[in-house]
């Protein structure tokens, strides 16, 4: 705990502390991570009837000071992945290796120690701050828990320093969360996560509850802090524009599995997985000229339930390119060149065809028109 020596030179210390990790490979490695939630039937005699396979075998690594974006639609398992990495949920299978230590195998006491250098920022800035604690106590709590800082005064100085770091003022320490707006609360949550000098932060949809103008402020703040402290982020979000802006690499998740992983610059210009193609085409573009000519891939149906995922490739029932093999065989993540990984049997054929949807696929969203219906004549 020598890390805390107070004073304004702290930021230098933290950068120095962050650097050794950069030379020792990834900060975080996730291997075959699974999290299944059991489903029970019966009230008197309860028996397991199945499981929600929220995360079903996910592997990736994050380097020091790197941001990995994790995108997907609701229920795809992206938040559960974050929780399981943080050991807030116990993994059903697989390994979470953080700074060389396998967290899933550590006894509870050591796990808590190891976890000191990983933190989390939650989506809901209203639910994640205790309304009965002052902002100062909220930010100081991790210091108290991890027994950092020798005196109250020292901790108070640290809290003031953290508040300034996130763009608030020391005077805010005596106020309560309800006195702050959503954006300011997310700044408080960020200050709390930085208190223990983490090398890795899970950001679970940190900006999705905020308005656009406030969202931009928080994104910029997170980026500045990353440059200053070389902290790595797992940035979980459903908003692909935000993820592109903040991430070095992006992983796309669909029903518990990764569909595609690529660098941020590559993924958005060369999406290979049909799901990524559809996702990107579905995002409205803030330019009426482009919107007027854009072709969208409108997928049929809804995201399947992870309690009963489709056989083979989990995307095949909605995929306009699917063939027989897709319903039989689960595609593995394969390297499509330059670290761009994709889990699709036919990615190269689809790419060669220029991503044109086969006309006989029957897998685009269609409905009867008004003119074909009796209703139109009423």
Coil, helix or strand at residue 213: helix
User: Smallest distance, Å, CB 172 to other proteins?
Assistant: 14
Q: How many whole angstroms separate alpha carbon 371 and alpha carbon 88?
A: 54
- Per-position DSSP letters for 112-127, written without gaps between them: HHHGGGEEEE-S-TTT
- Per-position DSSP letters for 20-75, written without gaps between them: HHHHTS-SEEEEEEEEEEEEEE-SSS-EEEEEEEEEEEEEEEE-TT-EEEEE--TT
Beta-ladder partners of 136: none
Q: Does 288 bind other proteins (CB under 8 A)?
A: yes
Q: Does 377 bind other proteins (CB under 8 A)?
A: no
User: Smallest distance, Å, CB 366 to other proteins?
Assistant: 8
User: Smallest distance, Å, CB 8 to other proteins?
Assistant: 24
Q: How many whole angstroms separate alpha carbon 278 and alpha carbon 272?
A: 10
Q: Are 320 and 274 in contact (CB under 8 A)?
A: yes
Which one of 294, 311, 349, 358 is in contact with other proteins (CB under 8 A)?
Answer: 294
Stretch of 31-39, 44-52, 235-243, 326-334 contacting other proteins, by CB under 8 A: 235-243
Closer residue to other proteins, CB minimum distance, 8 or 368: 368
Q: Does 373 bind other proteins (CB under 8 A)?
A: yes
Which one of 88, 283, 334, 356 is in contact with other proteins (CB under 8 A)?
Answer: 283
Q: How many whole angstroms separate alpha carbon 151 and alpha carbon 169?
A: 21
Q: Does 374 bind other proteins (CB under 8 A)?
A: yes
Q: Does 118 bind other proteins (CB under 8 A)?
A: no
In this structure, what token pair is assigned to residue 119? 């933190």
Q: Are 188 and 128 in contact (CB under 8 A)?
A: no
Q: Does 253 bind other proteins (CB under 8 A)?
A: no
Q: Does 280 bind other proteins (CB under 8 A)?
A: yes
Q: Does 268 bind other proteins (CB under 8 A)?
A: yes
* Contacts for 216 with CB less than 8 Å, ≥ 6 apart: none
Site for other proteins in 183-212 (CB under 8 A): 183-184, 211-212
Site for other proteins in 63-92 (CB under 8 A): 73-74
Tell me which residues touch other proteins (CB under 8 A).
Answer: 73-74, 181, 183-184, 211-217, 219-220, 223-224, 238, 240-242, 244-246, 264-265, 268, 278-289, 291-292, 294, 296, 298-299, 301-303, 365-371, 373-376, 378
């Amino acid at each position: 705990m020598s890390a805390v020596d107070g004073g304004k030179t702290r930021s230098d210390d933290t950068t120095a502390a962050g650097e050794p990790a950069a030379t020792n490979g990834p900060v975080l490695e996730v291997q075959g991570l699974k999290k299944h939630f059991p489903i029970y039937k019966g009230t008197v005699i309860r028996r397991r009837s199945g499981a929600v396979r929220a995360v079903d075998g996910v592997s990736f690594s994050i380097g020091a000071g790197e941001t990995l974006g994790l995108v997907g639609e609701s229920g795809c398992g992206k938040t559960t992945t974050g929780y399981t990495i943080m050991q807030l949920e116990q993994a059903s299978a697989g390994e979470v290796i953080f700074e060389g230590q396998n967290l899933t195998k550590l006894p509870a006491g050591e796990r808590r120690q190891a976890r000191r250098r990983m933190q989390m920022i939650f989506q809901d800035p209203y639910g994640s701050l205790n309304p009965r604690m002052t902002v100062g106590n909220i930010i100081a709590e991790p210091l108290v828990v991890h027994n950092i800082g020798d005196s109250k005064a020292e901790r108070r100085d640290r809290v003031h320093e953290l508040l300034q770091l996130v763009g608030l003022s020391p005077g805010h320490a005596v106020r309560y969360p309800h006195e702050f707006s959503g954006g300011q609360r997310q700044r408080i949550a960020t200050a709390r996560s930085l208190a223990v000098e983490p090398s890795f932060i899970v950001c679970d949809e940190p900006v999705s509850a905020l308005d656009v103008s406030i969202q931009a402020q928080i994104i910029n703040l997170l980026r500045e802090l990353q440059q200053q402290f070389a902290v790595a982020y797992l940035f979980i979000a459903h908003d692909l524009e935000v993820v592109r802006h903040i991430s070095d690499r992006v992983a796309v998740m669909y029903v518990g599995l990764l569909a595609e992983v690529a660098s941020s610059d590559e993924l958005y210009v060369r999406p290979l997985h049909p799901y990524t193609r559809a996702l990107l085409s579905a995002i409205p573009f803030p330019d009426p000229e482009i919107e007027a000519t854009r072709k969208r891939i409108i997928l049929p149906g809804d995201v399947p339930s992870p309690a009963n995922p489709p056989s083979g490739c989990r995307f095949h029932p909605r995929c306009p390119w699917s063939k027989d093999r897709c319903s039989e065989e689960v595609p593995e993540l394969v390297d499509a060149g330059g670290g761009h990984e994709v889990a699709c049997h036919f990615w190269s054929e689809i790419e060669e065809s220029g991503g044109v949807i086969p006309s006989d696929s029957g897998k685009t969203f269609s409905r009867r028109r008004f003119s074909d219906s009796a209703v139109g004549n009423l």
